[in-house]
Amino acid sequence: MRVPVSVRRTGRSPSAFIAKATGTALALALLTFASAPASLAAGVGSPTLGYGYDPDREVDVELVLAVDISQSMDRDEQEIQRAGYIAAITSPEVLDAIRYGPTGRIAISYLEWGSAGEQFVVADWSVISDAATAAAFAAKITEAPLRHSQRTSISAALSQAATMIATNPYEGMRKVIDMSGDGPNNQGGKVTQFRDKVIAAGITINGLPLMMKSDRDAWQTMMNLDHYYEDCVIGGPGHFSIPVRSKAQFGDAIRMKLVLEIAGLSPQQAGVMKADARKPINCSLYD
Domains annotated on the chain, with CATH: 20-53 (no CATH), 58-263 (3.40.50.410)
What is the average per-residue pLDDT within 145-164? 94
Task: Judge whether residue 206 has pLDDT over 50.
Answer: yes
Task: Judge whether residue 60 has pLDDT over 60.
Answer: yes
pLDDT of residue 214: 56
pLDDT of residue 149: 87
> For the whole model, what pTM was predicted?
0.78
Determine the Cα–Cα distance for residues 246 and 240; give it in Å rounded to an integer: 19
pLDDT digits (tens, 9 = 90+) for 231-248: 999 999 999 999 998 888
pLDDT of residue 212: 81
Task: Judge whether residue 27 has pLDDT over 50.
Answer: no
Give me the sign of the Cα torsion angle 210, 70, 159, 281.
Answer: positive
Please tell me which of 77-86, 133-142, 223-232, 247-256 the model is most confident about, judged by mean pLDDT: 133-142
pLDDT of residue 53: 72
What is the average per-residue pLDDT within 60-83? 91
Nearest to 23 by CA among 202, 238, 279, 285: 202
Nearest to 233 by CA among 286, 277, 179: 179
Beta strands in the chain (DSSP E): 58-68, 106-113, 119-128, 171-181, 204-209
